[in-house]
Amino acid sequence: MGRQQWLSRKEIAIQKDRLRNIYRRKYRSLFLSLFKIEGLDYEVDKYILSKIYEGVNLAAFKLNINAEAGTIVGFQPFSEEGYDLYSHPINIRLIPTNNWKYIPRKLLKNEEEVTLFKVDYILLSIVDTYVNRLVDIDMTIQTNLKLHKMPFIVTSDQEKDAIDQVLSDINVVALSKDVGLKSIQTNTPYIIDKLNKYRMEVETELLTIIGVKGMKFEK
């Protein structure tokens, strides 16, 4: 069996990115599943919620496709052009997310031709702050666990046989007097239980921010 190598900085960074992406997908999916905007199709509902999650402001406007389609409301990001005395935008220019020809390219009058939906804060950036903390906790747990895997120094076949018996849950192992087993001691305190509790507290706080109520953890 080859000697286990320490992870390089690049490998650690890849591992942390993998964990970070798992957490990001988890909380984004949770947010999208928590809320439903009444009166909208599933695709439109999820589009708006995903933009809210990302902190993207949207403008609602009428789509004039054809008479048979009736009135259809579209939602797109926008930029503001011109303000009144109270800093309210006067004109709005839509920022199309695709090349669909029915999205208006002209300036639109605010509160006449469009209605604005503005997000007060970027939930994604808040989630990322907590995700980074959770990843740090996970990596610390991993390090603490590895430091408690105390290997034995084996210098003979009899010592190896004794270790095999110990690892097989045999309570009493007979050894010759001249056999002395040694193990590497790290003197590292076991803190995984405390870290798990801390992770639960961090996640509970994050879930409350997202909108999940009633989460509890043991003290």
What does the pLDDT look like over 3-36, one tens digit per residue?
445 567 888 899 999 999 999 999 999 999 988 8
Residue 126: pLDDT above 50? yes
Residue 89: pLDDT above 90? yes
Q: What is the pTM of this model?
A: 0.73
Domain ranges of the chain: 9-27+123-210, 32-117
Residue 1: pLDDT above 50? no
Mean pLDDT of the region 33-60: 91
Mean pLDDT of the region 56-62: 94
Vertex 186 angle, CA 183 and 19, to 5°: 115
Q: List all residues 6 or more positions away from 79 whose beta carbon is below 8 Å from its beta carbon.
A: 92, 93, 95
> Exposure string (b/e) for 123-153, b if CB count within 10 Å is 16 or more?
bbeebeebbebbbebbeebeebeeeeeeeee
Is the distance from CB of 26 to CB of 203 less than 8 angstroms?
no
Residue 194: pLDDT above 60? yes
- Listed range (94-108, 170-184, 190-204) with the worst mean pLDDT: 170-184
**39: which 2 tokens?**
């009166």
**Does residue 208 or residue 169 have the better pLDDT?**
208
Q: What single-letter amino acid sits at 83?
A: Y
